[in-house]
Amino acid sequence: MIPDLETPFSRFPNTDHSAIERKDQSISAVITERQQQLNAVLQDVSGLESVMDKIKGLHRQLLEEKDKIIQSMNLHKGLVSALWRFPSELLSYIFVHCLPETEHLLPASKLAPMLLTRICRRWREVAARTSDLWCGVIVDVDDEDWQQAAFCYDSWLKRSQDRPLSLALRCFEDDATNLRTLLQPYMNRISSLQIVFVDPVTPELLLDDLPALQELTISTSYHMWRPTIAQSISRLPFTLRSLKVVGPSAFDFDRLSSFNPVWAHLTHVEIALEPFAHTNLQSLRISNASPLRMASLFPDLFNALTLPNLRVLEARYIRPWPHEELKAFLVRSGCPLESLIFGTRVMTTNEQRAEYIILVPSLEVVVDYMRGDYFGYRRLAQQYGIGRRRHVL
């Protein structure tokens, strides 16, 4: 109950100052009484807060007990479920299919494989022993907490056991030494390596001592190529089959092809659109997965290539078709092209196809039946005296 605190002196405005002066003792008594009342209320508040703290502590204990009961109940439910009785080998197989559909995995607690280690003790043990879950990872250097990051990456890579590794490295300035130190125990197991250079750095430390390397992708956003990089690539093992260079470059391909023994062993090459020739390439397939963004690149591609030994050229999903650039490519290359295959979404006219056959008499044009005009093509073939050429549908 709130006490009545009204007094004759608490009315405002109070202009009778003489009355107040005559009753100083009464006012002092009121102040003393209020102090006593305040002390009593503060004591009650303190006691109530103590009780509330005890209630909050009891509430917290009850919530913790509830969580433990639910956890125990779920555990025992799992013991009678078919999933709990799965052999570890089958569980490992399922875990592998939980991985994101990407070659390089992001170490994130809410994504597999890290997520699989947080479900229960058995899942964590099975996931940690499943080496296929830990064979690919994105390594993003963070100098602010490199020691902690290095420990996490090393723990990840150790779980891969003796499996081949596929790594994507994002390298800033002066990070190559840290990355080399981290990867040193695993260099002989790296089969696929992608390096993204964000700043102008020297990547030679990352391109040496890779005896099992099969695929190499180098991405840059600036002109950073120098002879030492070409030399590092030249020292890569003969196991290398795929080389990709993404981004602007001033790469000396003529020099590379002249002294690099690895060049002759490559079966897959993707490079920036700089003029270059490959004397041994016999088959080239071009497929555009991003028609809106990439269509403008194909004229430059044909302008950059010289393939004197090309025998099969296949194109799919390219619109608009770079007709004049292809003709210039055929003339420049002088290649003994045998098959020119137009697949899905490539629109060419009968006249254009006839021009290709005039340029390369050995050519056989293969077109999608739904896209091609067979009878119109035969008419043009006879008109140009090339009726002996077979039009494949």
- Hey, where are the domains in the chain? 17-79, 135-274, 276-393
Tokens coding 355 = 């021009």
- Alpha-carbon distance 199 to 219, whole Å? 11
Cβ–Cβ under 8 Å, residues 210 and 233: no
Cβ–Cβ under 8 Å, residues 292 and 318: no
Tell me what pLDDT residue 272 has.
63
For domain 276-393, the question of CATH label 3.40.50 is answered with: yes
Give the domain 135-274 fold: 3.80.10
What digits encode the pLDDT tens for the residues 271-293? 665 677 788 889 998 887 554 44
Residue with tokens 């008594």: 29
Beta bridge partners of 138: 168
Tokens coding 23 = 């009753």
Please provide residue 219's backbone torsions phi and psi, each rounded to the nearest 5 degrees: -120, 135
Query: Could you check whether 135-274 and 276-393 share the same CATH topology?
Result: no
Tell me what pLDDT residue 131 has.
95
Min mean pLDDT across 120-129, 198-207, 307-316, 378-387 is at 378-387
Tokens coding 235 = 């020292």
Tokens coding 168 = 């994507």
- Alpha-carbon distance 182 to 24, whole Å? 84
With a cut of 70, say whether residue 153 has pLDDT above it: yes
- Alpha-carbon distance 3 to 44, whole Å? 15
With a cut of 60, say whether residue 313 has pLDDT above it: yes
What digits encode the pLDDT tens for the residues 341-359? 988 778 888 899 999 999 9
- Alpha-carbon distance 252 to 389, whole Å? 40
Element (H, E) at 331: helix 323-333
Q: How confident is the model at residue 374 (pLDDT cuts 50, 70, 90)?
A: very low
Of 262 and 339, the one with more pLDDT: 339
In sequence order, the 6+-apart residues with CB closer than 8 A to the CB of 294 are: 288
Q: What is the largest CA-CA distance in the chain?
A: 134
Global pTM reads 0.53
Length of the chain measured in residues: 393
Tell me what pLDDT residue 384 has.
44
Mean pLDDT of all residues belonging to the chain: 79
